[in-house]
């Protein structure tokens, strides 16, 4: 068995993994990225549309262009990259951690490292997860798989398409399928509001006159060999109304019904997982419940933009370096999701080193107010012109914000949206 | 298991033609492959086990559910005992994990008493009555209301489709000809022979024909001018839970049975996922494998009556299977036809058909002998198939050696079930060239992502290994084409 030794191993070579690795290298520590696909970039490589890089590179790039910027940084930084390599398990060892990796080229490789940064991204929820009844013909794809087939593999998955879910991947695939000559008969969204970014509703549906059915579900799939049609039902009081149901003939159903952080490897390594985000529970330094294992990007919680994932990962890289230098926060406050907030990530903060927080709301609201309370006293407020569950809110806390906080070690910071 | 089917117009001449490559047909074919007898195994689908045998509970039953007056009970007891040896020979996933029947009140406990006595009478080995305490010792996840139950340690779980694949592989290795996509549409007698015609023009000549056509056994019987009977499809819907579920029991859990079925179970599958179901609903269409929204609630409710922690969020897939029921009695109908010469009926093989199948193989062999078929044992019969390594069974240290022998084990294609390129290539080389065929052979696409990450990689491997074009790749044969165009 081959063995290699590094200070830090980053698992996953997408936006988050590359950003984290570059940051580790910037501090002069040795670092390897382990990537299961045959190139770096992760899901970015199939996202050939624009809209990446506005935060990170101050210009609008396609997914592969954005990835290439980071690939250059990874190469410049002198980071070792293991491609076509899957991490099978993370074990504790006398000297740190051992990663057992499998690849066709190198066989089983053991990486001996001090710290691990998890950046594996997420997987798509599928038909079984949303329990769509009906027959089980060919022609049902997750939207991301269809995107991969079209944009990377060069195959067309179908000619007459219905899309379930108005998440960004679903919306972008509505436009993409139209461009490759398919007819998109509609996008069906269970919620009364779209799940994707407003700009994607405009650019991917409205511009192509593709109908969006809000508060509707696909209640049945029919077809013996290949999909033949689906039944679309409006939700009345949360229940599909059969009387108002209608059929859409199609040969293809694309599912864009949410993403789930892919944490099976993390769980097997003893990392505690949040039932709310399906990502790791992390402290203010993005460290999981397993000392020396950090988490960032979409494997921590699902981000709206690759830019946010990269930004979070860069901080995570720096925190991993600090941990290796035995720098730990003297105290950390627990952060609690208050009224109308689904979660805040990370779930802790260091009052000496205030940092960025990401949150998702449970409500759609204009002119909302973000309220932060420490031990039930309001310590910060901020106007938010519009919030909705599909759009992540970021809060940057500064030293100035926290100077009069009088935080005790058991203090709780509650974040609400009103 | 290569597809050695004949071309249109060509004639395959054999002693015995078996119609239907489900678990019964497969076991009959393998049984006969030990003799100097030419056998053709005929299947209308693109792969074997694609009918009734692919979607069922995957249980090797404990021998107490049915009265000793039935043929199916005798074959169940005998079949159960044959599984250990079959596993050694055929290398399929099987675990004798045991079965519990859960009684939730005193009324049900009375029925447990009946099942226990029936099991004793049938000769079920090791069967025991359990107090509440004993039940919780055997299964800590049980509902607190459990008052007692039955334990059948001889029961177990199996991957049904994988079992059929192995049985057919063994049969083919010993000379059985497998003809797939051969849908029998016509048959006639010519002298002492049956002439069997496929929809695509292929022809099989056979002295004896075995009708093991599952749901379509009634239609095949009619084609041969044999007995009239009706097979009623009885649908069973299932939900599959992620292997991460906290609700995986140690043993198969049965409720106290109802008149029409054995009830809805909680099954720890042999590969670590959990199956809940099935429903039991008589339908008309023998091809209707749809699932229905109202059944999910019923299945979850029933499962939670035994394991309260079963959660809807663990569901990764739903599917239906059809039982080929011969009503009203529901017994197996395995006999020499009285109307058509040299024609053996193997019909109504619903539960416990999987358990009984190896014994059905023996039983039908004896019937053929009785009907005059000459059976001389082969000098060189090899009951073993080549064991294929599975990367998931190897520790990293053991895997190191395996990868040195075949590097393709290092390329993990299916991350959820941990299946390597080498295993998928082995499936393709064994003739499983549809996405479902690869799935049933290897488990790739069967995990929590349901093929979201790996199905395109499998498509590429199938085209690479077979030379098939992208638009020839199907989910499960016929027109179930996966990709419709190229950019």
Which pLDDT does position B262 carry in this prediction? 85
**Residue B2 distance to chain A (closest CA, Å):** 24
Domains, chain B, ranges and CATH? 1-96+156-230+327-387 (3.50.50.60), 97-155+232-323 (3.30.9.10), 391-472 (1.10.10.1100)
pLDDT band at B137 (very low <50, low <70, confident <90, very high): very high
Among B292, B450, B487, the residue with its CB nearest the CB of A180 is: B487
Domains, chain A, ranges and CATH? 2-123+260-324 (3.50.50.60), 126-257 (3.50.50.60), 333-417 (no CATH)
Beta carbons of A104 and B421 less than 8 Å apart: yes
DSSP-based three-state secondary structure for A270: coil
Q: Beta strands B39-42 and B11-19: pairing type?
A: parallel
Q: Is B20 exposed, middle or buried (0-12, 13-18, 19+ CB in 10 A)?
A: buried
Prediction ipTM score: 0.95
Q: Is B272 left (phi over 0), alpha (psi -120 to 50) or beta?
A: left
Percent of chain B with pLDDT over 70: 98
Which pLDDT does position B9 carry in this prediction? 63
pLDDT band at B5 (very low <50, low <70, confident <90, very high): low
Q: Tokens 């960004």 map to which residue?
A: A168
What would the two tokens of residue A36 be? 């299961």
Residues A417, A365: Cα–Cα separation, whole Å: 9
Indicate whether B357 pLDDT > 70.
yes
**Residue B478 distance to chain A (closest CA, Å):** 7
Chains A, B: CB contacts within 8 A come to: 150
Predicted TM-score (pTM) of the model is 0.95
Which pLDDT does position A188 carry in this prediction? 98
Residue range B53-74: mean pLDDT, rounded: 96
Indicate whether B8 pLDDT > 80.
no
What would the two tokens of residue B235 be? 């649908």
Beta carbons of B315 and A131 less than 8 Å apart: yes
Helix, strand, coil fractions of chain B, as percent rounded to 5? 35, 25, 40
A299-333 pLDDT, tens digit each: 999 999 999 999 999 999 999 999 999 999 988 99
Q: Beta strands B39-42 and A246-249: pairing type?
A: unpaired
A182-231 pLDDT, tens digit each: 999 999 999 998 888 888 999 999 999 999 999 999 999 999 999 999 99
All residues at 6 or more sequence positions from B275 whose CB lies less than 8 Å from its CB, including other chains: B57, B58, B238, B239, B240, B241, B265, B266, B267, B269
Residues A64, B115: Cα–Cα separation, whole Å: 64
Residue range B348-366: mean pLDDT, rounded: 98
**Residue A222 distance to chain B (closest CA, Å):** 8
Q: Chain B partners of A225 at a C-beta cutoff of 8 Å?
A: 474-475, 478-481
Provide the terminal-to-terminal Cα distance of chain B, rounded to the nearest Å: 35
Indicate whether A402 pLDDT > 90.
no
To test the contact with chain A by mutation, choose from B286, B405, B412 the residue with the greatest count of A C-beta atoms within 10 A, namely: B412
Beta carbons of A156 and B449 less than 8 Å apart: no
B316 contact A CB<8A: yes
Cα torsion through B204, B206, B212, B214, rounded to 10: 30
Which pLDDT does position A390 carry in this prediction? 85
Residues A60, A142: Cα–Cα separation, whole Å: 27
pLDDT band at A403 (very low <50, low <70, confident <90, very high): confident
Nearest CA in chain B to A261: B449
Catalytic residue among B61, B66, B151, B194: B61
B393-420 pLDDT, tens digit each: 999 999 999 999 999 999 999 999 999 9
Which pLDDT does position A198 carry in this prediction? 85
Beta carbons of A159 and B485 less than 8 Å apart: yes
B290 contact A CB<8A: yes
Q: Chain B partners of A87 at a C-beta cutoff of 8 Å?
A: none
Strand partners, A89: A100
All residues at 6 or more sequence positions from A72 whose CB lies less than 8 Å from its CB, including other chains: none
Provide the terminal-to-terminal Cα distance of chain A, rounded to the nearest Å: 57
Q: Beta strands B274-277 and B231-241: pairing type?
A: antiparallel
Which pLDDT does position A410 carry in this prediction? 82
A226 contact B CB<8A: yes
Which pLDDT does position B6 carry in this prediction? 62
Q: Are A316 and A394 in contact (CB under 8 A)?
A: no
Beta carbons of B404 and A158 less than 8 Å apart: no
All residues at 6 or more sequence positions from B41 whose CB lies less than 8 Å from its CB, including other chains: B18, B21, B25, B26, B29, B48, B168, B171, B176, B177, B178, B179
Residue range B425-439: mean pLDDT, rounded: 97
Listed residue (A3, A4, A70, A9) closest to A320, CA to CA? A9
All residues at 6 or more sequence positions from B417 whose CB lies less than 8 Å from its CB, including other chains: B271, B392, B442, B443, B444, B446, B447
Which pLDDT does position B7 carry in this prediction? 64
pLDDT band at A382 (very low <50, low <70, confident <90, very high): very high
Indicate whether B4 pLDDT > 70.
no
Residues B360, A209: Cα–Cα separation, whole Å: 60
B37 contact A CB<8A: no
Percent of chain A with pLDDT over 70: 100
pLDDT band at A407 (very low <50, low <70, confident <90, very high): confident
Among B315, B460, B475, the residue with its CB nearest the CB of A129 is: B315
Confirm whether B61 is a catalytic residue.
Answer: yes
Buried b (16+ CB within 10 A) or exposed e, B385-411: beeebbbbebebeebbebbeeebbbbb
Q: Tokens 């449970």 map to which residue?
A: A362
Percent of chain B with pLDDT over 90: 94
DSSP-based three-state secondary structure for A318: helix
Q: Which of residues 231-260 of B touch A (CB under 8 A)?
A: 239-240, 244
Residues in chain A: 418
Residue range B182-202: mean pLDDT, rounded: 97
Which pLDDT does position B88 carry in this prediction? 97
Q: Chain A partners of B181 at a C-beta cutoff of 8 Å?
A: none
Element (H, E) at B485: strand B485-486
Q: Are A49 and A65 in contact (CB under 8 A)?
A: no
**Residue A4 distance to chain B (closest CA, Å):** 15
Residues B155, A105: Cα–Cα separation, whole Å: 43
Beta carbons of A225 and B479 less than 8 Å apart: yes
Concatenated DSSP letters of B446-478: -STTTTTTTHHHHHHHHHHHH---GGG-BSSST
To test the contact with chain B by mutation, choose from A98, A136, A153 the residue with the greatest count of B C-beta atoms within 10 A, namely: A136
B452 contact A CB<8A: yes
Indicate whether A109 pLDDT > 70.
yes
B401 contact A CB<8A: no
What would the two tokens of residue A170 be? 């679903």
Higher pLDDT, A366 or B261: A366
**Residue A166 distance to chain B (closest CA, Å):** 18
B297 contact A CB<8A: no
pLDDT band at B367 (very low <50, low <70, confident <90, very high): very high
**Residue A62 distance to chain B (closest CA, Å):** 20
Indicate whether B1 pLDDT > 70.
no
Buried b (16+ CB within 10 A) or exposed e, A214-233: eebbbbbbebbbbbbbbbbb
Q: Kindly report which listed range (A24-38, A404-418, B168-182) carries the lowest average pLDDT score.
A: A404-418
A237-273 pLDDT, tens digit each: 989 999 999 999 999 999 999 999 999 999 999 999 9
Which pLDDT does position A406 carry in this prediction? 79
DSSP-based three-state secondary structure for B79: helix
Nearest CA in chain B to A260: B449
Q: Chain A partners of B448 at a C-beta cutoff of 8 Å?
A: 123
What are the CA-CA distances from residue B265 to residues A411, B99, B142, B189, B350 (Å)? 48, 10, 13, 46, 16
Beta carbons of B456 and A145 less than 8 Å apart: yes
Residues A345, A277: Cα–Cα separation, whole Å: 9
Nearest CA in chain B to A219: B293
| Phi, psi for residue B274 in degrees, rounded to 5 | -125, 135
Largest CA distance in chain B: 67
């Amino acid at each position: 068995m081959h063995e290699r030794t590094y200070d830090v191993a980053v698992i996953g070579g997408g936006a988050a993994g590359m950003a984290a690795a570059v940051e580790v290298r910037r501090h002069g520590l040795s670092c390897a990225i382990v990537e299961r696909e045959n190139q770096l970039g992760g899901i970015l490589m199939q996202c050939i549309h624009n809209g990446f890089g506005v935060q990170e590179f101050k210009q609008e790039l396609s997914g592969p262009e954005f990835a290439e910027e980071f690939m250059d940084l990874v190469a410049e930084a002198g980071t070792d990259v293991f491609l076509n390599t899957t991490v099978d398990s993370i074990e504790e060892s006398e000297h740190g951690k051992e990663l057992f990796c499998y690849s066709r080229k190198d066989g089983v490789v053991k990486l001996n490292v001090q710290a691990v940064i998890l950046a594996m991204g997420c997987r798509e929820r599928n038909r079984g997860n949303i329990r769509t009844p009906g027959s089980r013909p060919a022609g049902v794809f997750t939207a991301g798989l269809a995107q991969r087939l079209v944009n990377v593999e060069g195959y067309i998955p179908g000619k007459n398409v219905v899309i379930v879910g108005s998440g960004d991947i679903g919306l972008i695939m509505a436009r993409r399928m139209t461009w490759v000559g398919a007819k998109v008969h509609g996008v069906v969204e269970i919620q009364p509001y779209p799940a994707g970014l407003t700009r994607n509703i405009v650019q991917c549906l409205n511009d192509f006159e593709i109908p969006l059915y809000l508060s509707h579900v696909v209640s049945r799939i029919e077809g013996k060999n290949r999909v033949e049609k689906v039944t679309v039902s409006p939700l009345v009081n949360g229940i599909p109304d059969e009387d108002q149901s209608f059929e859409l003939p199609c040969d293809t159903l694309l599912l864009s019904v949410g993403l789930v952080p892919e944490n099976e490897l993390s769980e097997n390594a003893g990392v505690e997982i949040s039932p709310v985000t399906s990502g790791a529970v992390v402290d203010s330094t993005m460290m999981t419940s397993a000392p020396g294992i950090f988490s960032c990007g979409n494997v921590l919680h699902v981000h709206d933009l690759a830019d946010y994932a990269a930004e979070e990962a860069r901080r995570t890289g720096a925190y991993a370096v600090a941990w290796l230098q035995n720098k730990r926060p003297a105290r950390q406050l627990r952060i609690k999701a208050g009224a109308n907030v689904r979660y805040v990530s990370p779930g802790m903060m260091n009052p000496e080193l205030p940092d960025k927080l990401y949150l998702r709301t449970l409500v759609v609201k204009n002119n909302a107010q973000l309220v932060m309370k420490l031990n039930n006293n309001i310590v910060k407020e901020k106007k938010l012109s519009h919030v909705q569950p599909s759009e992540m809110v970021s809060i940057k806390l500064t030293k100035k914000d926290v100077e009069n906080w009088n935080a005790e070690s058991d203090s709780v910071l509650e974040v609400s949206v009103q | 298991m290569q597809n050695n089917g004949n071309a249109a117009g060509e004639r395959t001449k054999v002693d015995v033609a078996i119609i239907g490559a489900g678990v019964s047909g497969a076991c009959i074919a393998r049984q006969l492959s030990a003799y100097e007898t030419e056998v053709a195994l005929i299947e209308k689908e693109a792969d074997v086990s694609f009918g009734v045998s692919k979607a069922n509970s995957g249980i090797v039953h404990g021998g107490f559910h049915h009265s000793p007056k039935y043929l199916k009970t005798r074959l169940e007891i005998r079949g159960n005992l044959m599984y250990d040896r079959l596993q050694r020979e055929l290398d399929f996933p099987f675990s004798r994990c045991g079965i519990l029947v859960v009684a939730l009140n005193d009324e049900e406990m009375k029925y447990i008493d009946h099942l226990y006595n029936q099991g004793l009478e049938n000769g079920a080995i090791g069967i025991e009555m359990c107090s509440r305490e004993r039940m919780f010792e055997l299964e800590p996840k049980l509902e607190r209301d459990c008052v007692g139950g039955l334990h059948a340690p001889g029961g177990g779980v199996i991957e049904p489709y994988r079992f059929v694949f192995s049985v057919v592989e063994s049969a083919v290795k010993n000379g059985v000809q497998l003809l797939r996509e051969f849908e029998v549409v016509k048959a006639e007698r010519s002298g002492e022979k049956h002439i069997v015609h496929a929809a695509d023009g292929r022809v099989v000549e056979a002295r004896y024909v075995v009708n093991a056509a599952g749901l379509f056994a009634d239609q095949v019987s009619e084609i041969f001018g044999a007995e009239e009977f009706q097979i009623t499809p009885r649908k069973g819907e299932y939900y599959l839970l992620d292997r991460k579920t906290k609700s995986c029991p140690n043993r198969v859990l049965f409720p106290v049975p109802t008149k029409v079925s054995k009830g809805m179970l909680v099954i720890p599958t042999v590969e670590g996922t959990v199956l809940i179901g099935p429903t039991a609903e008589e339908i008309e269409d023998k091809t209707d494998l749809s699932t229905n929204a109202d059944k999910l609630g019923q299945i979850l409710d029933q499962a939670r009556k035994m394991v309260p922690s079963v959660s809807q969020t663990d569901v990764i897939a739903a599917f239906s299977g059809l039982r080929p029921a011969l009503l009203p009695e529901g017994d197996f109908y395995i006999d020499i036809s009285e109307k058509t010469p040299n024609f053996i009926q193997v019909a109504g093989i619903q539960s416990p058909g999987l358990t009984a199948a190896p014994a059905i193989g023996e039983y039908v062999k004896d019937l053929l002998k009785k009907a005059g078929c000459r059976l001389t044992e082969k000098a060189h019969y090899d009951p073993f198939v080549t064991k294929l390594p599975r990367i998931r069974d190897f520790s990293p240290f053991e895997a190191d050696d395996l990868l040195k022998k075949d590097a393709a084990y290092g390329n993990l294609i299916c991350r959820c079930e941990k299946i390597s390129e080498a295993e998928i290539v082995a499936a393709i080389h064994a003739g499983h060239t549809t996405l479902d065929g690869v799935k049933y052979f290897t488990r790739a696409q069967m995990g929590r992502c349901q093929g979201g990450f790996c199905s395109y990689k499998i498509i590429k491997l199938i085209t690479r290994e077979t030379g098939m074009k992208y638009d020839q790749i199907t989910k499960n044969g016929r027109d179930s084409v996966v990709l419709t165009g190229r950019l």
